Chains A and B, each alone.
Chain A
Amino acid sequence: MSLRSKTNELRKRMKNAASGGGDKAIEKQVAMGKMTARERIIALLDENSFQEYDLFVEHAAKDFDMDKKYLAGDGVLTGTGLMNGYPVCIYAQDFTVAGGSLGYMHARKIVKIMDHALKLQVPLIGINDSGGARIQEGVNSLAGYGEIFYRNTLASGVIPQISVILGPCAGGAVYSPALTDFVFVVDKISKMFITGPEVIKSVLGEEISMEDLGGARVHAAITGNAHFYAESEKECFTQIKTLFSYIPWNNKNKAKAYPIKMPKSRTFKIGSIMPSDSKQPYDVRDVIRAISDNSDFFEIQAMFAQNITIGIARVNGETVGIVANQPMYLAGVLDVDSSDKAARFIRYCDAFNIPLLTLVDLPGYLPGIDQEHAGVIRHGAKLLYAYSEATVPKITVILRKAYGGGYIAMCSNHLRADFVFAWPTAEIAVMGPEGAANIIFRKEINEAADPDKMRQEKVEEYKTKFANPYVAAAYGYIDAVIEPKETRRFIVHALEISKNKIIHNPDKKHGIPPF
């Protein structure tokens, strides 16, 4: 055979292998409002940068007449490419091929590209769209999941791993995304659950739709499994590209620096965001935007545990991870979900050399039987652990309330914040003036002719004496009390001089965080 005919043979084989599950299955995929696996990769990566591998891999199953079936690429595309000009490893499950089910060779392809990513020290992107384990392949299918989970764990904190849920991701399959850094979901397309509606119906007799059980909104707002929510696949891809512009390519490097842009100070006036009544809310994101470059702020888990705001921004061209109490929701209290949300993000930033900026304004922990019984002690401890353990530059700005345990937890001097700044509006005290006055002056209040008047007087007395930043500053727990308009300048300077920060935690195999 001539080279020409051999080349033609190759082309024929490639066309066949790249045809997915055939026209009918592809039509069905499109009818569900979904792109095909190949279209997704092409839309996500830089133009013409996708190099596919293992196109000719076939399944090796023999039972249940599987040997008579051909599954193109065994239901998954794998390869490398560029995003924003930087290399990434990627895989996308192809739902049109046997429902994207995970068989042994399917998993082998994924595992191979994961090994590449770890070896090449580049990010890994996984696009999930699969009905689950390929039952015909039995325990080999389970082995496949196990091999993936193991690699997700080894790669955790070494290379960025992101999961994009663009279809069903059910049963054991959900645990790969859960082990990765960030999970992206799309409205009406993403479905994640351990046991589906049918099983729940047969066991419980309860009926629930897939959407209500484990749709995009559920994971973005209730479970916290998802970090980014989009209305369409296109919007989702834009979010992924934005995220990648902020993060470093592996844990040996820092995030790429961008040209410095000043905040839009006419829109976000830092001096007039805070209401004069300290019990009135404001949107802490306005404070962030008054500090960040170009007033950009890329929020993470925006719909979950909204009483704490987390996200990424640039300050003076450099990526900074931001954790801020959000007085707009639940007065900004710490609770089970907000502690968990912030703690994981802090560990992410620490693993990838992203300095931490903490903005503090909280009345304390959320009281309640449900919180206590949900384990606010161990979940709250995660936050202390994450902040204490983090060795990246840590800068804290106390905007207003910093009471009790909340003061300690929000990256205080005592958890080794490098710089703690406080606005003149800061109230740093063991507890709020109302609560403190009721305890300290109980006798005087009870014995007074007019207890309410006496209480008010004592609250005012306590406020004047303690609800300010100067008591803490007198002990050196605050490094500087600053005017709001000076905030960015102080942060920029602190970041600049912290660039070569070195701190060594004691040698250990690993700690035992309370999770």
Chain B
Amino acid sequence: MMEENINNDYSDFTIGDATYRTILTTKFKSRKAYSKIKIKEIHSFIPGTITEINIKAGSKVAKGDIILILEAMKMKNKIIAPMAGIIESVNVKIGDIVPKNSLLAVIK
């Protein structure tokens, strides 16, 4: 139970302009870095299978167009264009099983 203490060394840790000597927990060290939301990149909001693709690179889309169908949890989810534009790339093909937050398409 105490192995974490033994394996961990004390590090410097700055809060409120003061630096403390302390052990950084594994969970703290493995926290995810923040990345800004990129509206032009369309990501899967749920893991699932791509069953329909209505676009290809160069397609012109209007805001709200259904560009893909992502089947997940027995539901056919419509993936819609978040903005009008030209499709720069389609990053999946029919039958692909995609995890959550994977890049499906990019609009320029």
Partner-B contacts on A (CB < 8 A): 203-206, 221-222, 229, 279-281, 302-303, 305-307, 327-333, 337, 363-364, 366-370, 373, 403, 431-435, 438
Contacts and interface: CB of A to CB of B under 8 A. Distances in A.
Contacts of B99: 204-206
Nearest to A280: B21
Contacts of A305: 25, 27
A435 B21 contact: no
Nearest to B23: A329
A221 B27 CA distance: 8
Nearest to A327: B22
Contact of B22 (A328, A337, A434): A328
Contact of A363 (B16, B26, B48, B73): B16
30 contacts: A203-B48, A204-B99, A205-B97, A205-B99, A206-B99, A221-B26, A279-B19, A279-B21, A281-B20, A281-B21, A281-B23, A302-B1, A305-B25, A306-B23, A307-B25, A327-B22, A328-B22, A329-B22, A329-B23, A331-B20, A331-B22, A332-B22, A337-B27, A363-B16, A369-B34, A403-B16, A434-B18, A435-B16, A435-B18, A438-B17
A229 B3 CA distance: 14
Nearest to A202: B97
Nearest to B24: A330
Nearest to B26: A221
Contacts of A367: 15
Contacts of B103: none
B98 to A, nearest CB: 8
Interface in B1-49: 1, 4, 10, 13, 15-28, 31-32, 34, 47-48
A351 B13 CA distance: 37
B10 A279 contact: no
A174 to B, nearest CB: 19
A222 B26 CA distance: 9
A332 B18 CA distance: 14
B72 interface: yes
A386 B14 CA distance: 29
A433 B16 CA distance: 9
B20 A363 contact: yes
Interface in B38-87: 47-48, 72-73
Contacts of B48: 203
Contacts of A281: 10, 20-23
A367 B28 CA distance: 12
A369 B13 CA distance: 16
B20 A279 contact: yes
Contact of A368 (B26, B27, B31): B31
B4 A303 contact: yes
Contacts of A366: 15
A303 B3 CA distance: 10
Given A204-B47, A221-B27, A432-B17, 20 more contacts: A204-B97, A204-B99, A280-B21, A281-B10, A281-B20, A281-B21, A303-B4, A328-B23, A330-B23, A331-B15, A333-B15, A363-B20, A366-B15, A370-B32, A370-B34, A373-B34, A431-B16, A432-B18, A435-B16, A435-B17
A432 B34 contact: no
Contacts of A280: 20-21
Contacts of B4: 303, 306
Given A203-B48, A279-B20, A306 B15 contact: no
A330 B13 contact: yes
A279 to B, nearest CB: 5
Nearest to B12: A279
A363 B16 CA distance: 8
B107 to A, nearest CB: 25
Contacts of B15: 331, 333, 363-364, 366-367, 432
Given A203-B72, A435-B16, A330 B22 contact: yes
Sort A-B residue pairs by CB-CB distance and give the 10 closest, nearest first: A434-B17, A331-B20, A435-B16, A369-B34, A432-B16, A331-B22, A204-B47, A434-B18, A435-B17, A363-B15
Contacts of A279: 18-21
Nearest to A455: B17
